[in-house]
Structure 1
Amino acid sequence: MSLLEERYLSNIISKMAFGFGKMAFVAGPRQVGKTTLAKDLLAKRGAGKYGTWDDKDFRKLWHKGPASLRTFLQSNGGTTTKKPIAILDEIHKDRRWKGNLKGFYDLYGTSFDVIVTGSARLNIYRRGGDSLLGRYFPFRLHPLSQAEILGKRADEPTSFIESIMSPSPPALQAGSVTKFERLLKFGGFPDPYLNQNDQFSALWRSGRLEKIIHEDLRDLSRLPELSQVEALALLMPDRIGSPLSVQSLREELEVAYDTVKRWLNYLENLYFHFTIRPFTTRVARSLKKEPKIYLYDWSEVEDHGARFENLVASHLLKACDYWSDCGRGQWDLRYLRDKDKFEVDFLLTNKNKPVVSFECKYSDDRFDPSVLKFAGQIGITNHIQIVAKPGIWQRREIDGLNILIASADAVLSLLV
């Protein structure tokens, strides 16, 4: 089976959404593999149809109403008696998409397993009033990760915690380090990772940014300043890993503070980047507002240490989103920093309760004691220092804090 035939969300969509008669809303970055995932489920089912808003004929059927759409989605030419899968791609580009989809689902939802895919508004329209409430389960598709490439997955958060508590490192497949190094270099988007060619990757990244800004952002916002937003996006790889200064960006772009904030919000809604906010509960002299930003495509980041930290952040966010989307808690990714500039890179929380903290060290495997400043305040008992150097798995305990210093290829293989 090839790498892309079985993405990590395939089984959970079939089990949780289809199994309970819900639509599956699959959102995520452009070119992360949403359509491929949906089409693979369709191919395995052998019944159903794919329709995309980018197809003029499909748009005509969509506007004609639910009955015409049902006829199209059932006309796959097969003889199977299995329930057909209806893939509706990019329908969020229609201003009335929610109302039209509600009408189709309420009339014919029991006759189809429905997958709706999109890169932006599926996420945006979850906020506030939602006429589709109770009719769908949302899922967030992330780029490839070390665990997914190795064919592994921590379906339960407890299995990850138990694994990192083990005195021995996990048994790794041959080539695990090489696969991790490729992931760090080419990023986790399927096309550049699978092609593993520098020139292809450069062209792919340029084309992806062009489409995000001049197609997706144009459709979402109707902003006239697309070239300036593109300039903002090009500045962001140099801001990875540090508290974000909107004021600095404002000065460099020569626009208003609120304008930069609005542009950043648009880019985040389009899955160009994600933000991590400080955890403040019980943290003395904590930073309150300043987020850190990371890119979904960490290969955009030139600095090796920042790229490594971005990769780890992406892996941790993928696990948080997966566990939350599967109903295994309310997981979130935060960081710790106080006004004395003590900092821990990442903190996993469940229902706002700290679970385990992480520190990233690209070129240094010595223990960083910064976590000791926070551990007693927030009540964590497990801390992992992730290093880029392979072959490391060291355990120690300091003041009741279980500490693991371990190689990234090993630790990240235990996630999702």
Structure 2
Amino acid sequence: MKFDTLVLGAGMVGVSIAAHLQQRGLSVALVDRKAPGNETSFGNAGLIQREGVYPYAFPREFSKLLGYASNRSLDVRYHPAAMPKLAPFLYRYWYNSEPSRHAAIARSYATLIERSVSEHQALAQAAGAAALLRPTGWVRVFRTPERLSQEVRTAEQWQREFGVTFDALDAPALHALEPDLAATLVGGVRFPQSHSVNDPNALVTAYARYFEQLGGRFVHGDALTLAPQWRVSTDDGVLEARSVVIALGPWSERVSGALGYRLPLGIKRGYHMHYRPERNAKLGQPVLDVESGYLLAPMARGIRLTTGVELALLDEPKTPDQLAAVEPIARKLFPLGERVDAEPWMGQRPCTADMLPIIGPAPRHQDLWFAFGHAHHGLTLGPVTGRLIADMVTGAAPFVDPRPFRVDRF
């Protein structure tokens, strides 16, 4: 079976790429071991973060680093046995998080982020899934006036630099907006430009269905069998194509590494659990408890609690200690009832050391393309990446400057 392009990976990024390429008239096969949207894209906060112009930096304050070293922090945990292998990546991550470097990174990152909502809207409209995008915005809440003031200053900076809009909420305004949150909160900062999704898997599935309606084909297969120039083994036999896009999220390094590319990719793991709200309590938008490092989001399945970061090696067993640590705190913030899921879900975010995704052609192989390393913003940046890759693969003028995201920057 022959195609113009193989897209390896059926998360939000891979499905968006496949749909955009199929829109351009290419014949595309989308290959994954699982159905679309059933790995990292399945469990997240459901946010399309228009405000996320500054990617998440590595902490620089000595007091924070000392607190993380104890491995009891609510927002960041790590596997001690993984640290020797992760140390080079973490050092580069820390280096690039220096404020002036971080600001330069943000200027490149913003070119993707500022198009995130509009590109989702365009793809969702074409896929008949516009109702899944909700213009709710989201809010970061605080327990201390000092942290609230600091967040307002940061939001003011984002507004000056990148046109990010925000609402500074005092306690009465916050509780008028979300009356079932704890009365002890002193206020929050809301970002109204961002959208939310109450079922991320349903959105990925809708985009995949649209891809198939355009004539694309989804096939279960093993991306690790990829061989030049280009073929991959699947349940339906060997597929061949002129070009291939690696969009395997955290597993991308295994396939790119087999082709000789050594990229500074690290893994940030996260967990989620769903709860039934008590006493008919309502949550209208995602809410981040900044000082405790977790997020609550209204989902189709219930209220989703998502944890912060766990640093570990790829495919290590689950260790949902963070979830157990923050659940009692979350119950005081919002009236969570019984757990809905039988066990915590775990996902693995692919992160580069300079916080920018890798999007573009491989330097040593013809017709090989990379699209991974989106860290916390895979859901946010899927359609943007899809359009940018489609521009480059088809020879169109890229609608975003792709140079900051090229693979040979490492």
Larger Rg: 1
Is TM more than 0.5 here?
no
Using the size of structure 2 for normalisation, the TM-score is 0.26
Task: Give the structure with the higher percent helix.
Answer: 1
TM-score (norm 1): 0.26
